[in-house]
Amino acid sequence: MCLSYILKKPLRFQLTEPVRYVNFMEIILLSAVQKAEVTSPENDWCRIRTQEKNQKQEEDKADLLFFVVLTKFDLYLRFSNVEDIVNSGSRPIPFTKGAKMRERNYSTLSYLLRVHDQIRPQYAFHATDETGWKEWHKGLRTKLSELLGGFPEEKCPLDAEILGRTEEEDYVREKLVFESEPGVSVPAYLLLPKDLPKGRKSPALLCLHGHGRGKDDAAGIARDDLDRQRFIRPLNYDYAHQFACKGYITLAPDSRCFGERAQDDMSCSWAFTSGLLLGKIMVGMRVWDAMRAVDYLLSRPEVDPERIGCVGLSWGGTHTIYTSALDDRIKVAVVSGYFSSFKDTLIDRGECPCQYVPNILKYADLPDIVALIAPRPLLIENGTRDPLYTLEVVKEEYKKLERVYEVLGVPERVDIDIFEGGHQFSGRKAFDWFDRWL
């Protein structure tokens, strides 16, 4: 069989310059003939037929030879540039065994870290006096509202309704619901201490839960001791209950996708990605609900409008940061289990998408967002064994907060509780903090 027969076989690719491939194919074919142990008495590669073989045997060998040739040619194409082969004439492109490939980087994380290192947030805090702080504060707060997807221009009626009351040892727990937007209902628990002073308004706390069962965790509701051990005790999660036992009116609403608001099984991830298509950011939607929760507290005759605080763990800490940063009606804040840099908490390690605000690092890092709370009193809680944050980074980023409060002349209004523990609410300083400032 000769080369012209082989080239009649269908190929997976088209030879744009077939004549220039002839010598290259000859070389490959010679190698294939040798490997197939097909010999020719005249040592001529164009004849593989022998007198002893019949036509059927010769066709079988031709098919075998064609397969070997194409396999060999395919290997050359795998390890060589096709254009180089075409331009090489009769010289094959050798594949050097053991040749070292240039250094490559397949890591998406390292790429994102390089992008992060090149970013210089527009509203990183650099003010040295109160005038500079005012300009920075106004600019970042406006930009943050924009990044969160904006808020409704008008507030709809709360249309609040009390659905039931439960007597506890130290307080009465009201089950209620209000509207944050038309057609958006927010269920919540209001805990009213039994020893509230008559004829005098009392301080109130908005208690924002993290991931888990929603408002039931913050309010300390469990079916039995097993549920309490499983859901509440590991994180010391029932801070709405604990503060109510100390005389504070506490409101614990369900965030979107949690508790009763998870009835359609829409998870944080699903809601976050769906919202992106509509220009709705999960953080922003939840912050609006929290602002309307403050509206509800102000509608209660028992609440002192000048003494409203906010506290939250984990996602509740995130929720507390953004709500307090944008709503001056919150006079004191305690952020538990959510403070570091965005790189440390959201890039170096993965987190629930509901924690993310698109493009935010172009404008501010997390300490800058938290600093919007200044000059109002702020306490940060972080456990030494919290796996979601790097303790050394937390301490370094906290210095940025201290600087903001120093510029404003109120360094005593910011503090940090670094306690021995994991991802949990501490309370070691929090109770005294609210007592002092509310």
Dihedral sign for Cα atoms in the order 400, 405, 409, 411 = negative
Tokens at residue 208, please?
């924002």
Of how many residues is the chain composed?
A: 438
DSSP string, 111-168: HHHHHHHH---TT-----SHHHHHHHHHHHHHHHHHHTT---SSPPP---EEEEEEE-
Neighbours of 11 (CB within 10 A): 11
Predicted confidence pLDDT, tens digits, the chain (438 residues): 444 444 444 444 344 444 333 444 443 443 443 444 444 444 444 444 445 455 555 555 554 444 444 444 444 444 344 444 444 444 555 556 666 788 899 999 999 999 999 999 999 999 999 999 999 999 999 999 999 999 999 999 999 999 999 999 999 999 999 999 999 999 999 999 999 998 899 999 999 999 999 999 999 999 999 999 999 999 999 999 999 999 999 999 999 999 999 988 999 999 999 999 999 999 999 999 999 999 999 999 999 999 999 999 999 999 999 999 999 999 999 999 999 999 999 999 999 999 999 999 999 999 999 999 999 999 999 999 999 999 999 999 999 999 999 999 999 999 999 999 999 999 999 999 999 999
> What phi and psi, each to the nearest 5 degrees, are found at residue 34?
-65, -45
Domains and CATH numbers, the chain: 3-87 (no CATH), 126-437 (3.40.50.1820)
pTM: 0.78
- Mean pLDDT across the chain, nearest whole number? 85
Estimate to the nearest angstrom the gap between the alpha carbon of 302 and the chain centroid.
39
> What phi and psi, each to the nearest 5 degrees, are found at residue 304?
-85, 115
Q: Give SS3 for 355.
A: helix
Can you point out the beta strands (E) in 54-132? none
3-state helix, strand, coil in the chain (%, to 5): 45, 15, 40
Tokens at residue 366, please?
């997390």
Instruction: For residues 377 and 405, give the distance between their C-alpha atoms in angstroms, rounded to a whole number.
Output: 9
Listed in sequence order, the DSSP H helices in 224-314 are 225-227, 239-245, 268-277, 282-299
Instruction: For residues 196 and 82, give the distance between their C-alpha atoms in angstroms, rounded to a whole number.
Output: 85
Buried b / exposed e over 187-204, threshold 16 CB at 10 Å, is bbbbbbbeeeeeeebbbb
Q: How many CA atoms lie within 13 A of 305 on its CB side?
A: 8
Least Cα distance to 314 among 217, 425, 396 occurs for 425
User: What pLDDT score was predicted for residue 9?
Assistant: 42
Could you read off the pLDDT of 210-251 as tens digits, one per residue? 999 999 999 999 999 999 999 999 999 999 999 999 999 999
Least Cα distance to 305 among 320, 325, 327, 289 occurs for 327
Under DSSP, the state recorded for 391 is: H
Is the preceding peptide bond at 10 cis, omega within 30 degrees of 0?
no
